[in-house]
């Protein structure tokens, strides 16, 4: 027997069932965290689409390679841009031949009929009409640029579909959270009812029910926090393994090590806080359901 | 050490609940330390209950609950007792009630006598100043009456107030009664052991001593 406290009354008196519940909660939290981290990293379908989509600025024939590379370097530092590369006319020709083999004869007298071009890829979160317009407005005034290919009329529809797909995926995450909450509340209610003889024992000996409820909730908050940290850590490593092993995961979801970037920290902290608060609230709600006022 | 005796269903348990501050009396009052348990502050009532132990007539037989779980529960009331001290106190108390090594036993598997003695040990674990025992002698069995009597008298000598509810006193106990019995409605009230030291009476009158003068539940 080690110094028990009302914070851990459930663990102290129903240790066996608490361990099973904690294992179940860990699994649920792991799934929720995996979903959340995946969404955070991929932005839903944004990363996949931004990987497939490029803005191509075709340069005029005769633009020196240095100027082409200079344009790519300037575009690369713009906020919506993930990466920008200059392809020389020779590289463009090789790509053309790979796509259309047997057309070598088009290059008469050794002259390359293709110009160089700058290929721009957007960040997953900035792949929007505004982001595209920003790149276009930066490239259009340049005299070296002959034409900009950015998806044309198809893009607005595609971007709307992206929004809907992302909304659907986030709704899925919300559903997971709701299921998590409902299961927590049911577990807490059942356990609170099972604690009835123990609560009566304590109440008869001068420990008010409200004090027990609040301290149990505080214990559930802390225990929930520990479970959330462990489950989120486990889901991060699972994602790291999967993205390292499967290129499809890396393409669709992204490299998991990016999650260590500071920009993801606030979202992860909010997730951990919510995953800690949920069990605390569920504990209070379960208590209130098992012990209505006056009981 | 006080004993209230009376026939079944005469209200002994109800009286005990009233004296513990759990059940508001229809009339009359219970004064502890100069303050009413019912008209005083709720905190006074709570403190009194925290400072008292109670062994009910029927102890809940929850499946899966062991003797050590009951001690854990009692330890929750007595927060602040170090874990090591709790262990040693439990190891001291169980032999006192004839249940050495029963820590891991399921309460549901114990006999009525054993459950009653465990319940008493669980209450003594917290070292309560007031002890309310409902049918402890009857439930513990006649072979335990003398041993428990010795234990309870020793506790009373340590300036604890003990109130017992029984249907009848064991015969041997009749001889130990110091003050004469006093009829009080359906009950008989006995006081066992020597009078309390004067300095205690002056410092804080025992809570149940004033009860015979009260009306209401006694009538």
Of B111, B127, B143, the residue at which a domain comes to its end is B127
Query: Mean pLDDT across the stretch A45-72?
Result: 88
* Pick among A4, A7, A20, A219 to test the B interface (most B CBs inside 10 A): A4
- B66 and B45 in a common domain: no
Q: Is B78 on the interface with A (CB under 8 A)?
A: no
pLDDT digits (tens, 9 = 90+) for B152-178: 888 888 888 899 998 888 777 766 665
- B82 and B22 in a common domain: no
ipTM over 0.85: no
What CATH number does the domain containing B44 carry?
3.40.50
Query: Mean pLDDT across the stretch A41-52?
Result: 84
Q: Can you give the pTM of this predicted structure? A: 0.71
Query: Mean pLDDT across the stretch A33-45?
Result: 90
Query: Mean pLDDT across the stretch B36-58?
Result: 90
Of B98, B127, B156, the residue at which a domain comes to its end is B127
Quote the DSSP letter at residue B36. Answer: E
Q: Strands A55-59 and A117-122: what pairing? A: antiparallel
Smallest Cβ distance to A9: which of B51, B68, B76? B76
- B23 and B12 in a common domain: yes
- Specify the range with the lowest mean pLDDT, choosing from A72-76, A266-270, B22-26, B205-209: B205-209
Q: Which residue stretches of chain A are H helix?
A: 9-13, 15-42, 46-52, 65-76, 89-99, 129-139, 154-194, 196-204, 209-245, 247-252, 265-290
What pLDDT, on the 0 to 100 scale, is given for residue B214? Answer: 36
Is residue A201 exposed (0-12), middle (13-18) or buried (19+ Cβ within 10 Å)? buried
Give the integer Cα–Cα distance in Å for A39 and A33.
10
Reported as type and span, the H/E element at residue B130 is: strand B130-134
Of B96, B127, B158, the residue at which a domain comes to its end is B127
Domain around B99: 60-127
- Specify the range with the lowest mean pLDDT, choosing from A200-209, A213-222, B74-83: B74-83
What pLDDT, on the 0 to 100 scale, is given for residue A294? Answer: 53
Give the integer Cα–Cα distance in Å for A81 and A122.
4
Q: Do A1 and B72 touch (CB under 8 A)?
A: yes
What pLDDT, on the 0 to 100 scale, is given for residue B191? Answer: 67
- B165 and B83 in a common domain: no
Residue A2 has pLDDT above 50, yes or no: no
What pLDDT, on the 0 to 100 scale, is given for residue A191? Answer: 85
What pLDDT, on the 0 to 100 scale, is given for residue A39? Answer: 92
Q: Do A201 and B73 touch (CB under 8 A)?
A: yes
Query: Mean pLDDT across the stretch A208-226?
Result: 90
**Chain B residue with minimal CA distance to A1?**
B83
Interface list for A 6-25 with B (CB within 8 A): 6, 9, 12-13
Domains and CATH numbers, chain A: 6-45+159-290 (no CATH), 54-150 (3.30.70.3040)
Q: Compute chain A's Rg from CA coordinates.
A: 29
A178 to chain B nearest CA, in Å? 33
- B219 and B161 in a common domain: yes
What pLDDT, on the 0 to 100 scale, is given for residue B119? Answer: 92
- B145 and B117 in a common domain: no
Confidence of residue A292 (pLDDT cuts 50, 70, 90): low
What pLDDT, on the 0 to 100 scale, is given for residue B213? Answer: 38
A193 to chain B nearest CA, in Å? 13
**A–B CB contacts, 8 A cutoff, strictly below:** 59
B22 to chain A nearest CA, in Å? 7
* Pick among B76, B125, B132 to test the A interface (most A CBs inside 10 A): B76
Q: Which residue has the higher pLDDT, A290 or B136?
A: B136
Give the integer Cα–Cα distance in Å for B173 and B176.
5
Q: Do A9 and B82 touch (CB under 8 A)?
A: no
Confidence of residue A236 (pLDDT cuts 50, 70, 90): very high
Confidence of residue A104 (pLDDT cuts 50, 70, 90): confident
Residue A239 has pLDDT above 90, yes or no: yes
- B202 and B138 in a common domain: yes
Reported as type and span, the H/E element at residue B163 is: strand B161-166
Q: Is A5 on the interface with B (CB under 8 A)?
A: yes
- Specify the range with the lowest mean pLDDT, choosing from A135-139, B77-81, B96-100: B77-81
Q: Is B66 on the interface with A (CB under 8 A)?
A: no
CA distances from B143 to A183, B67, B132 (A): 51, 22, 21
What pLDDT, on the 0 to 100 scale, is given for residue B177? Answer: 63
Percent of chain A with pLDDT over 70: 96
CA distances from B205 to A230, B46, B177 (A): 57, 19, 21
Q: Do B75 and A1 touch (CB under 8 A)?
A: yes
Residue A109 has pLDDT above 60, yes or no: yes
The count of domains in chain B is 2
Q: Which residue has the higher pLDDT, B214 or A231?
A: A231
Confidence of residue B199 (pLDDT cuts 50, 70, 90): very low
Q: Do A207 and B77 touch (CB under 8 A)?
A: yes
Q: Which residue has the higher pLDDT, A156 or A239?
A: A239
**Chain B residue with minimal CA distance to A215?**
B76
- B68 and B45 in a common domain: no
Interface list for A 153-212 with B (CB within 8 A): 197-198, 201-202, 204-208
Mean pLDDT, rounded, of chain A: 87
Give the integer Cα–Cα distance in Å for B28 and B36.
10
Q: Which residue has the higher pLDDT, B186 or B43?
A: B43
Smallest Cβ distance to A1: which of B22, B45, B71? B71
- Which residues are registered as beta bridge partners of A148? A57
- B146 and B43 in a common domain: yes
- B159 and B211 in a common domain: yes
Q: Which residue has the higher pLDDT, A114 or B60?
A: A114
Query: Mean pLDDT across the stretch B62-75?
Result: 83
Residue B106 has pLDDT above 70, yes or no: yes
Residue B218 has pLDDT above 50, yes or no: no
What pLDDT, on the 0 to 100 scale, is given for residue B198? Answer: 35
Smallest Cβ distance to A205: which of B49, B60, B62? B49
- B205 and B145 in a common domain: yes
Residue A200 has pLDDT above 90, yes or no: no
- B140 and B45 in a common domain: yes
């Amino acid at each position: 027997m080690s110094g028990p406290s009302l914070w851990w009354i459930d663990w102290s008196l129903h240790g066996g069932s608490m361990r099973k519940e904690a294992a179940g909660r860990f699994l649920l939290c792991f799934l929720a965290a995996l979903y959340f981290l995946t969404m955070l990293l991929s932005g839903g379908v944004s990363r996949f689409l931004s990987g497939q989509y490029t803005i191509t600025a075709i340069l005029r024939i005769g633009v020196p390679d240095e100027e082409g590379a200079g344009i790519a370097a300037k575009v690369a530092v713009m906020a919506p841009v993930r990466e920008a590369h200059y392809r020389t006319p020779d590289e463009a020709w090789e790509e053309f031949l790979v796509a259309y083999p047997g057309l070598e004869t088009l290059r008469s007298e050794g002259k390359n009929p293709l110009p160089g071009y700058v290929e721009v890829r957007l960040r997953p979160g900035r792949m929007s009409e505004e982001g595209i317009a920003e790149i276009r407005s930066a490239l259009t005034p340049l005299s070296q640029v002959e034409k900009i290919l950015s998806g044309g009329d198809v893009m607005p529809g595609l971007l709307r579909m992206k929004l809907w797909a992302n909304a659907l995926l986030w709704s899925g995450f919300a559903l997971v959270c709701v299921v998590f909450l409902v299961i927590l509340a049911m577990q807490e209610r059942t356990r609170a009812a099972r604690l009835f003889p123990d609560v009566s024992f304590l109440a008869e000996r001068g420990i008010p029910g409200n004090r027990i409820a609040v301290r149990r909730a505080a214990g559930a908050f802390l225990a929930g926090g520990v479970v959330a940290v462990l489950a989120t850590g486990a889901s991060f490593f699972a994602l790291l393994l999967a993205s390292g092993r499967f290129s499809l995961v890396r393409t669709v979801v992204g490299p998991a090590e990016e999650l260590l970037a500071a920009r993801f920290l606030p979202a992860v902290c909010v997730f951990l806080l919510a995953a800690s608060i949920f069990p605390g609230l569920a504990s209070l709600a379960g208590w209130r359901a098992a012990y209505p006022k006056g009981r | 050490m006080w004993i209230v005796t009376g026939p079944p269903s005469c209200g002994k348990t109800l009286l005990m609940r009233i004296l513990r501050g759990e059940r508001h009396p229809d009339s009359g009052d219970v004064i502890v330390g100069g303050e009413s348990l019912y008209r005083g502050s709720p905190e006074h009532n709570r403190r009194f209950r925290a400072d008292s132990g109670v062994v009910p007539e029927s102890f809940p037989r929850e499946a899966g609950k062991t003797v050590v779980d009951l001690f854990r529960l009692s330890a929750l009331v007595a927060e602040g007792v170090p874990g090591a001290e709790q262990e040693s106190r439990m190891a001291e108390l169980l032999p006192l009630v004839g249940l050495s090594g029963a820590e891991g036993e399921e309460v549901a598997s114990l006999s009525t006598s054993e459950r009653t003695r465990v319940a008493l040990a669980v209450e003594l674990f917290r070292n309560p100043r007031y002890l309310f025992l409902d049918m402890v002698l009857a439930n513990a069995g006649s072979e335990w009456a003398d041993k428990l009597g010795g234990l309870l008298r020793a506790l009373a000598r340590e300036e604890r107030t003990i109130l017992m509810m029984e249907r009848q006193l064991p015969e041997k106990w009749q001889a130990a009664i110091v003050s004469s019995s006093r009829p009080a409605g359906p009950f008989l009230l006995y006081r066992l052991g020597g009078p309390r030291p004067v300095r205690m009476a002056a410092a804080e009158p025992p809570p149940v001593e004033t009860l015979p003068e009260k009306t209401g539940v006694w009538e």
